[in-house]
Structure formats: structure tokens, C-alpha cells
Chain A
Amino acid sequence: MQGKNVIITGSNRGIGRALVETFVAAGANVWACARRATSEHESWLQELSSSHGVWVKPVYFDMADADAVNAGIQSILDEGKPVDVLVNNAGVSTVGLLSMSKVDDIKALFEVNFFTMLRIIQKVSKKMVRQRCGAIVNMGSIAGIEPQPGKIAYGSSKAAVMMMTKCLAKELGPMGVRVNAIAPGPIETEMIHQYTDDVLKNLAAESALRRLGKREEIAQVALFLASDKASYINGEIIKVDGGR
């Protein structure tokens, strides 16, 4: 990954933070996309940059604002640098039974989790097609594979992401662009705190390893999929769930 240029969305917390740390530690330059600028985020990126001798640039846009997303990604492309890797990590999660869910809220979730991801890929993949190489890693979810009550919005959006991944792998593969996805099981992030201790205990018990996953365990798989070590892997969904 030394010297490669990588776009990572959702970089300011959870798995996204681990992704930035992991790619930077592997020698990659990173455009770290996040919703809003904070001094904490910026100083963290500066620290990473100086400690690893790479550049790490913050790019700010709201995933729910299509114009802002386009402008943010365009600002990256306008730099004229090769884009070797795109990690589509940003997403939102909700839990709600159908009878308690508003269709407009489900649409809003799909906008962030699916359509914005698609929009970003549409712009970045043109650059990769021109380069005749590139790797895209999309964040799916085990919730998009295993049906659960209350996950109709989140699970369906992630199922869509994973099918999009497989379709795009076929479309972009002939131009040297690989597209893969990761389907994490429950991971210890800020998102998990929406659950009670009992629920967390049950989630851990569903894994053969009897624990939740760590953010770094997802980031390492993303790094592998983005790297040349995975040069013949395309259109795959890698479950990272401790065995279920």
C-alpha cells in the first residue's frame, strides 16, 4: 500500500477511524472524508501524517447532501492525483419494526447507505477506468445477509450494497477495477452502544468466537482486499463475524 492514494469515507469514528489508521500505517496517503470538521479530527489526521510520513487530508461533506458529496469528491479528483483505492465505509444504522417505521425515514437511510455510495463510485470509478486499475471496498453488513426483525431498513440497504458490489465487479472488472465488500458482524464501535448489555451479550453469543469483533479486524480485511495481495479477488463479500 506504500505510496497508494486512498479515499476513505466515514473516517471520524468507529471502523472508519481504524481504516484510516490501518491504511496510513501501511504507507498509504489518505483522503479522510467526514461529515464535519472538528479540531480533534484534524489534529488526529495531522499526527498520523507526521508519524507515518504520508499525507492525510480531511475532506468534509454530508453524505445526505448530494451536491456536497459531488463537490467533495470532485475536489479530490481535481487534485489530479491517481486514486488507487476507494473504501466506502460511511453509513447510518437504525433499528425499527415495520409498523413503527416511516417510509420517508427508510428512504433517507437508503440515500446515505446506498445511493450516496453509488454516487461516489460513479465519480471515482471513471477515474479508475481511465487509470485501468483501482480497488473499491464497500462496507456491507451481516444484517444484509441474515434477516432480523427491526432491520428492514438497515439490512435491506446493506443487501443492496452487496448486490451492487457484485454487479459493479462484473462491469468494472474488464477495466482492471476490482470491487469487493465486507460484511461485518457486530463490532465494538459507537454504533453498538444503541444496544442494552443483554442484547450485546446475545450478539456476542451468536459468534462462534463468543465475542464482538474489533474495528481493526475489519480494517485489516479492507486493507487486504484493497492491496495487490487480493489481485484476483473481485465481486466477493467477505463475512467478518467470528463464525455464525
Chain B
Amino acid sequence: MKRRTYLTATLLGAALASTPARADDDRIVVGFATAESGFMQAYDKPAQDAAMIRIKEINDAGGLLGKQIEVVNADTKTDRAEGAKAGLSVIDQGADLVVVSCDYDFGAPAALTAESAGLVSFFLCAESIKAGIQGVGPHSFSASVLAAVQGATMAQWSYEKKGARSYYRLLDTWTEYNKGICDGFDWALPQLADATLVGEDTFKNEDASIAAQITRIKSLPEEPDAIMLCTMMPGAVSAIKQIRAAGINSMILNGSGVDGSYWLSAVPDLSNFFVPVQGSIYGDDPNADVTAFNAAYKEATGGDPSTQYVYPGYVLIDVWAKAVERAGTTDADAVVAELEKMNEEPTLFGPRTFSSEIHHQNKARYLIVETTNGKPGVVDEWTIPEAIPVADLMK
């Protein structure tokens, strides 16, 4: 028995030793330490596909700094300890940029390995302030927009454009993301003259029934103009269904987590329902290039983007490649310096800004998607006039 163990281990060691060691400087390598299996794969795969589309575009146009971008992968198996290994594995294969899982909790171990190796890391679509300087270190970035911006956007937009004055805040305490949406809402609401919070409540994503919360909404003297619903899949569907089934017809304001039409059949004829998105998957984006990207995505993967979370993958390669181009090198410190110079840098999915204080978007343009009779479509766009201060995000 013991001998067999030795033998397997030796073979294993030999095999791992034969994989390519550190890269020479002639290559530009992007390493994906993302989930290829487990539940995170559903989030990581689409965004990674989008990133691959941008890499292919760059390579077809002659490459980056005159070199073709190479790609290496390692599977995190949706496991934190495996995530650290995946990070080390892509670094060993010569990665200049380490792309990690969409979610902060699952991406952090790999991002930390990149940070300690002095490399740039990008979260595919994490929306927590921790996915960056605050939770990883000065070389870490996220390609998406903070959840708080979504809450703030919805509060301001509904106030200005829909005349909403009374709000009800319903928070699902399951994840940081949900809390982030409501934090942004809490930041924005006091700045809106004569907007009032008529009530607030919490529930848990797994709750089968939110009857108690609905009763409290129903017992208000007047139905609120809008309900800020800070939740995500899968619990969101049941909550929305119950709110509408109880005859509450207030506007429902959401974060981007409920984007997509795949679940709409569960709540037939849903109306007065609003979602902020970075780009539209419904074929009606004001920017024709986005629609062209959707077609390219369909060609590459065989399906339309299912939610807006595809887009940050494209953005991250886009901004990183621009920074590398400007720095003239893939050296991490030089690239970070170039990224931090980006102020309202145009991308396909709205302008992006990074600074030495925050490697995330605390202000961004959002398209507003309204669902009417079960049909979602872009109705407007909104950019919060003032960035959310970092101090308010760190609560």
C-alpha cells in the first residue's frame, strides 16, 4: 500500500514538474483562475467567454505590444482552497494578468496569490468594495460596478423620472451583494428632498414565504410609490411573485442581479418592474456596438447572453489591454499606474474610472430596463451625478 502511494505521488510530481515553468518576457499571458465546475461556473463561464471575445479581437488586430495574447486556465472547482491553487497554477504558467472568479468570496484566494506575486488581478464581475484595494491589495481590480451604485441609481432615477416619493425598503440579508444595493439606496435617499422611507423590512433568500413582510406593506395607510427590493436569484422570483400576488402594484426597484428574461415566465405579465443594467441583452441597446457584441457572443458560444453579467468580462480585457498598451509593458506597477489614470475611459458598456483610492466603479452609467406585461426593454439611462464616497461604501 505504502509503495503504491509513493509511486503515485512520484508520478504526479514528475508530471507537474514537466508543465511549463515561468514564462519568458516574450509572451503576454492572461491566466483565468476561475470556476470550470461547481455552482460558480454559471457566473464565471459567460463572463470569461466575453473576455475571450475581446482577446480574440485584440489578437486578430495584431496583438498587444505586437505579441499575441496567450491564455492559460486553472479550475477553482468553486472551492476556496482550490482557488488559491488555481491562482498559483496560472502564475506558474506565466500569467501577467490573473482573472479570478466573479464573486469576491470565491475569487479572493486566487487574487491574494496574484497580489503576493506582485501581479495584477481582476475579478470577473464582483460588486463588493472588497474586490480591489480594500479586500485584496493595490494590484487588484473588479471589472463590474459596485452594488451600491445600483441602489443609488434606482433611488435617484425613480425619484426624478417617475416622481416616486414614498419608498419601502425590503432587504434579503443573504449576501453582501444584497446589502450593498440597499447601502447605496440608503446613501441616496436622504439627498432627495421630500422623499420618505415609509417602512423597511428584511427576509432571507431561502424563505419560502414572505407573507409577514407583505402584510406589513399592505397595512401601510397608502401603498408606497416604490419598493426597493435588495435581493438576488433564486429567492428574488418568489419574493416578486408574492408581492404581485398580494395585489401590491408599486414600482419594484432592483439591482442588476435579477436581469435576464429566463425567469419571467414564473411571474406572468409582470409590470412596473425596473432593473439597472450595464448593457442590454434584449437587442435594444442605444449603442449599436453592444448589439453587435451580442451577435458575436452568440456566434462564439451558441447562445445569447443570458444576463448583463456577461459584459464585465469584455470590459476587463479592454481596460487592461489599453493600460498595457499605454504603459508599453505588462509590468504590474506600470499597468496599475495607467489603470489608475483612467477617468471616464469609454468602453462598450459605459465609461470606467479607477483611482489610487478605489479600483471599482462608485459611479457609472446604467441603462434602466423596464418590464411591462412580461416584456423587458430599455427605457432610459441614468448616471448618479456624484460618486458614492469610499467611506460610505466601507460601512
Q: Do A and B bind each other?
A: no
Residues of chain B whose beta carbon lies under 8 Å from any beta carbon of chain A: none
Task: List chain A positions with a Cβ less than 8 A from chain B.
Answer: none
